[in-house]
């Protein structure tokens, strides 16, 4: 059951609106004074990205930046996780989370501070590394929020738990921090908040949805087995490439014919590998899948349907039984409706009511939803990062998506809006200082 506390009286929100100067979202002297150093911080993060569970230097930078605000710092939580506790009297605890990791993408933005970093991935391959999902914006906003809260302790009471989380891209970092006793060691928060950059939303705008926001994600590996031999003598073999090809097509009937049409679900085969030469039928073919759903029972239906088809296909072709392995998995991210209803007015006060827009859910996945364990109310909102003039050309000149080598957020207005929005959300959940 979701826990939900009574929220502060509206006078706290009114006081915050007056302090922030909500009539002009682009005018906040406190944030503007910090922007030059925050932009330098952002550019450094962008130029020096690190892969999931390798965020050693990134973790140090975030820890030092949060320590400078007076937050009580603990590092090494879930390997490279950072926890900063900012306590300011009695009141609820609000968790604010940023992710730390980058992607194995070779940057092509042409920015003067573009990443030139390469690294060995977990398979030992040398890859380019880039913050192609905006985690550098997230981290900069986290530090900006911490600075604002430290400077304005006369405006709020309570505790803010500032989280730098590793390995979001591998959907393993939140699980690692929680397994390492995050809530047992630092206390279970009353609310958990996060923001995420949007590649299709103008700077200055905030997008949100209530309820399911991001899908669950499950990785699955299938080794389709056969009996190899000469390509000119297929009758003496059991061809796993034919079996695998049949399976790839048949898997789509699970979504179209077994899942209710009103329940979103996705099965994507992202990788297929088999064989070494034109005229050799191999012994096996390796498939890598990602499964997406908003509901746990639908997720189980997908897994069951895949297992039945893979095993039945082997029987039908007199092939050895396939090997099926469930890999990384994370639940859906659910924006708690009661929390959303209370936070949205704060967002509107921070950036202007016309700049807060309702979004549709997406089948993308996040591990932020894990911070809702134990019934903690959660809310992740989207932060616009694209200049209006670039958005105006989007129909004829498509925007680079997240994870694209060309994704380049407009940093200054994005960071300014992100700090204003998150600060207002946090303080709107805390009692006003008396």
Q: pTM of this prediction?
A: 0.91
**Quick check: is 414 in a domain?**
yes
| Residue 89 Ramachandran class (φ > 0 left, ψ -120 to 50 alpha, else beta) | left
Residue 312, token pair as written in the block: 């039945």
What are the percentages of helix, strand and coil residues in the chain, rounded to 5?
A: 40, 30, 35
Judge if 203 and 235 occupy the same domain. Answer: no
Q: 10 CB contacts (<8 Å, ≥6 apart)?
A: none
How many C-beta atoms surround the C-beta of residue 313 within 10 A?
A: 18
**Quick check: is 23 in a domain?**
yes
Average pLDDT rounded to a whole number, residues 278-293: 98
**Quick check: is 373 in a domain?**
yes
Average pLDDT rounded to a whole number, residues 344-359: 97
Tokens 């958990």, residue located: 192
**Quick check: is 94 in a domain?**
yes
Mean pLDDT of the chain: 94
pLDDT, position 18: 43
Average pLDDT rounded to a whole number, residues 230-239: 98
**Quick check: is 221 in a domain?**
no
**Quick check: is 68 in a domain?**
yes
**Quick check: is 327 in a domain?**
no
pLDDT, position 16: 53
Q: What is the CATH number of the domain that holds 400?
A: 3.40.630.10
Inform me whether the pLDDT recorded for 6 exceeds 60.
no
For 299, the domain range is 227-319
Q: What is the CATH number of the domain that holds 282?
A: 3.30.70.360
Q: pLDDT per residue over 243-270, tens digit each?
A: 999 999 999 999 999 999 999 999 999 9
Residue 355, token pair as written in the block: 């700049």
Is the Cα dihedral 344, 345, 347, 351 positive or negative? positive
Average pLDDT rounded to a whole number, residues 365-377: 95
Judge if 268 and 397 occupy the same domain. Answer: no
Q: pLDDT per residue over 39-77, tens digit each?
A: 999 999 999 999 999 999 999 999 999 999 999 999 999
pLDDT, position 190: 98
Average pLDDT rounded to a whole number, residues 2-8: 60
Q: How confident is the model at residue 120 (pLDDT cuts 50, 70, 90)?
A: very high
- Contact at 8 Å (CB) between 62 and 82? yes
pLDDT, position 123: 87
Q: pLDDT per residue over 79-102, tens digit each?
A: 999 999 999 999 999 999 999 999
Average pLDDT rounded to a whole number, residues 164-187: 97
Judge if 28 and 117 occupy the same domain. Answer: yes
- Contact at 8 Å (CB) between 97 and 182? no
Which of 290, 319, 348 is the last residue in one of the domains? 319
Q: pLDDT per residue over 373-425, tens digit each?
A: 999 999 999 999 999 999 999 999 999 999 999 999 999 999 999 999 999 99
Judge if 170 and 28 occupy the same domain. Answer: yes
pLDDT, position 432: 85
Judge if 150 and 21 occupy the same domain. Answer: yes
For the chain, the first-to-last Cα distance in angstroms comes to 33
Q: 255-275: buried (b, 16+ CB within 10 Å) or exposed (e) per residue? A: beeebeeeebbbbebeebebb
Choose among 37, 224, 38, 55: nearest CA to 131.
55
**Quick check: is 220 in a domain?**
no
Q: pLDDT per residue over 288-321, tens digit each?
A: 999 999 999 999 999 999 999 999 999 999 999 9
Inform me whether the pLDDT recorded for 165 exceeds 60.
yes
Inform me whether the pLDDT recorded for 10 exceeds 50.
no
Inform me whether the pLDDT recorded for 8 exceeds 80.
no
Average pLDDT rounded to a whole number, residues 206-232: 97
Judge if 173 and 36 occupy the same domain. Answer: yes
Q: How confident is the model at residue 28 (pLDDT cuts 50, 70, 90)?
A: confident
Judge if 60 and 186 occupy the same domain. Answer: yes
Inform me whether the pLDDT recorded for 5 exceeds 80.
no
* Beta bridge mates, 108: none
pLDDT, position 409: 98
Q: 215-242: buried (b, 16+ CB within 10 Å) or exposed (e) per residue? A: bbbbbbebbbbbbbbeeeeeeebbbbbb
Number of domains in the chain: 2
pLDDT, position 174: 97
pLDDT, position 433: 74
């Amino acid at each position: 059951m979701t826990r939900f506390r009574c929220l502060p009286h509206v006078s706290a929100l009114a006081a915050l609106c007056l302090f922030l100067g909500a009539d002009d979202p682009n005018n906040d002297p406190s944030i503007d004074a910090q922007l030059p150093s925050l932009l330098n911080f952002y550019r450094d993060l962008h130029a020096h990205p690190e892969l999931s569970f390798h965020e050693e230097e990134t973790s140090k930078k975030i820890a030092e930046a949060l320590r400078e605000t007076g937050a009580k710092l603990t590092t090494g939580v879930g390997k490279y996780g950072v926890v900063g506790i900012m306590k300011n009297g009695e009141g609820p605890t609000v968790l604010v989370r940023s992710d730390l990791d980058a992607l194995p993408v070779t940057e092509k933005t042409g920015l003067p501070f573009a990443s030139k970093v390469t690294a060995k991935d977990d398979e030992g391959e040398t890859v380019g590394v880039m913050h192609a999902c905006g985690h550098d914006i997230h981290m900069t906003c986290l530090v900006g929020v911490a600075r604002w809260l430290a400077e304005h302790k006369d405006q709020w009471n309570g505790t803010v738990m500032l989280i730098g989380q590793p390995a979001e891209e591998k959907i393993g970092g939140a699980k690692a921090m929680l397994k390492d006793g995050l809530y047992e060691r630092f206390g279970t928060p009353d609310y958990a908040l996060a923001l995420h950059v949007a590649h299709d939303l103008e700077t200055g705008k905030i997008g949100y949805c209530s309820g399911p926001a991001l899908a669950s994600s499950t990785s699955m590996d299938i080794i389709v087995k056969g009996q190899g031999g000469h390509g000119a003598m297929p009758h003496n073999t059991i061809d796993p490439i034919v079996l695998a090809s049949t399976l790839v097509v048949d898997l789509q009937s699970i979504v179209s014919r077994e899942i209710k049409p009103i329940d979103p679900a996705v099965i994507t085969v992202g990788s297929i590998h088999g064989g070494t030469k034109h005229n050799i039928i191999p012994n096996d073919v390796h498939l890598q899948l990602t499964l997406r759903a908003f509901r746990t029972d639908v997720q189980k239906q997908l897994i069951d349907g895949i297992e039945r088809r893979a095993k039945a296909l082997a029987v039908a072709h007199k092939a050895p039984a396939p090997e099926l392995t469930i890999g990384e998995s994370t639940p859906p991210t659910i924006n708690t409706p009661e929390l959303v209803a209370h936070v949205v007015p704060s967002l509107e006060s921070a950036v202007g009511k016309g700049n807060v827009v309702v979004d549709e859910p997406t089948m993308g996945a996040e591990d932020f939803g894990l911070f809702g364990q134990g019934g903690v109310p959660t809310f992740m909102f989207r932060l616009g990062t694209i200049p209006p003039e670039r958005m105006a050309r989007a129909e004829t000149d498509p925007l680079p998506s997240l994870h694209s080598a060309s994704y380049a957020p407009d940093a200054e207005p994005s960071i300014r809006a992100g700090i204003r929005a998150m600060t207002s959300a946090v303080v709107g959940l805390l009692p006003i200082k008396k």
